[in-house]
Amino acid sequence: MRTSWKYKLMPVTLLALTFFLFTTSCDKEPKGERPDLPPAELLFMDYSDFAEEPGMKKGSIASYTNFIHAYGSLLFWHSPAITIYTALPVAAYSVAFTQEAEYLGDNTWQWSYEVPLGETTYVVTLKAARINNEEFSILMDVALASLPNLGVKWFDGVVRYDHTQATWSIYKEGSVAVVDAELLMNYETEAGSLKYTYVEPEMEETDSYVLYEYDPEQVFDAAYTVSWSAGMTQIEWDVESKEGRVKDEVKFGDTDWHCWDSFANGLADKVCD
């Protein structure tokens, strides 16, 4: 079972690319520990609670309309059209945690390594650099191992040192942004949000977005807001039981919540409490 957003956003481990920059020069690495990279599950959206439709038992009279609509509302975001640009950076980025960073001077660190994906091997160059007292940048370039000098940018971004905000973009062909992302966090309440906006130019769903939110104070502690050309869908659920509800005026013809039961009870439709 996937861990909840709460556990993914523990203050010490998330966005912990901490620089000790008090004494540095162009040639000497700053005193203190080397940078720790933000974990991949923080930077990239997780749809695992809605990864597949519920299994309908033969002869069952139960309805699964509500969960299935929530599931279908997210299909665009974990379809090949999007994941072809997000899944590869996730895989390549995750390998960096097993590599040593090289200090390049000027408050910049670099990870360089090879990643086999399928039958293709890539050369990955990941850089992190101080921008100012509040922010650092992160950038990943990737090339075919057979053409190491022809790398293209896969993603870049900016993260605050206080770990409360991060913004980044995922690219295709090295220059065309496909997804813009924004992370917001509140460590006092342990609440957080991650928003993906589809920005590929002149496409039907350009400017569509999915917003994931986690708030441990709510009965349904996780939520998606999905905005696209066909309308808007709101989804709320409990990350432990998977019980939840969905609201979509276009689909249901009303502004009411439509609920489903827990995973243990098959995610079947139920009357909202």
56 backbone dihedrals φ, ψ, rounded to 5°: -90, 125
179 inside domain: yes
Residues 239-248 have pLDDT tens digits of 999 999 999 9
135 inside domain: yes
30 inside domain: no
**pLDDT of 39:** 73
212 inside domain: yes
Portion of the chain with pLDDT greater than 90, in percent? 52
Domain that holds residue 246: 5-17+39-51+64-270
Q: In this structure, are residues 261 and 267 in contact, taking their beta carbons and an 8 Å threshold?
A: yes
**pLDDT of 36:** 67
**pLDDT of 25:** 39
State yes or no: pLDDT of 7 exceeds 50: no
189 inside domain: yes
Q: DSSP of 70-92, one letter per residue?
A: HHHHTTTTTSHHHHHHHHHHHHH
25 inside domain: no
State yes or no: pLDDT of 177 exceeds 90: yes
- How far apart are the C-alpha atoms of 194 and 189, rounded to whole Å? 16
Residues 185-195 have pLDDT tens digits of 898 998 999 99
59 inside domain: no
Q: Domains in the chain: how many in total? A: 1
158 inside domain: yes
Numbers of helices and strands, H then E, in the chain: 5, 14
The least confident of 9-13, 216-220, 239-243 is 9-13
